Amino acid sequence: MSKLARSPYPARRTSEWLKVKCLLRQEMVIGGWQDSEKQGRSLKSLLLGYYDRTGRLVFAGKVGTGFSLKLGRELVERMRKIERPDPPFTLVPRDDRRGSRWAEPQLVAEIAYSNWTTDGVMRHPKFVALREDKPAREVRLDRVSPGNRAAAKRA
């Protein structure tokens, strides 16, 4: 929370008390997607990962927000061209496999998120941008911090 120092605690919403979320950012490799079941929408979510020290692509969760309808259609179109029959990740939880389609790990996305779960998956991820300037093979966790220790242990 952010507030004016002189502001007492109010029993109602006020512009003097603001909820401010601190977000982290990380580049992630797109290794698959889930098609949307909603009319007019192509993309439900992207399946994301990063390369560990041994060169394995580690699953880091999925993101289903932050892209427009147009960008969602464009991403699905691009991924269909590089579709593959099996996941590029070393391990994908069964629930995340259901309804998923897989792509060669060539595309890189910048993702904003709040922290990591104890399972090593990003919490509250949001798509920020497609990174055309970075090769997918170079995507690693930026650094080990208290919030991403579980993910770093797997890396």
Range of the domain at 84: 21-150
Q: Is residue 3 part of a domain?
A: no
Q: How confident is the model at residue 11 (pLDDT cuts 50, 70, 90)?
A: confident
Q: Is residue 12 part of a domain?
A: no
Q: Give the Cα separation of 29 and 46 in Å (integer).
A: 10
The whole model's pTM is what? 0.81
H helices within 20-154, ranges in order?
A: 69-81, 94-97, 149-154
Q: Give the Cα separation of 48 and 29 in Å (integer).
A: 5
Q: Give the Cα separation of 62 and 45 in Å (integer).
A: 6
Residue 60, domain CATH: 2.40.50.140
Tens-digit pLDDT profile for residues 18-39: 777 778 899 999 999 999 888 8
Q: Is residue 139 part of a domain?
A: yes
3-state secondary structure of 109: strand
Domain count, the chain: 1
Q: Is residue 16 part of a domain?
A: no
What residue type is assigned to position 106 of the chain?
A: Q
Q: Is residue 14 part of a domain?
A: no
Tens-digit pLDDT profile for residues 35-86: 988 887 889 999 999 999 999 999 999 999 999 999 999 999 999 999 999 9
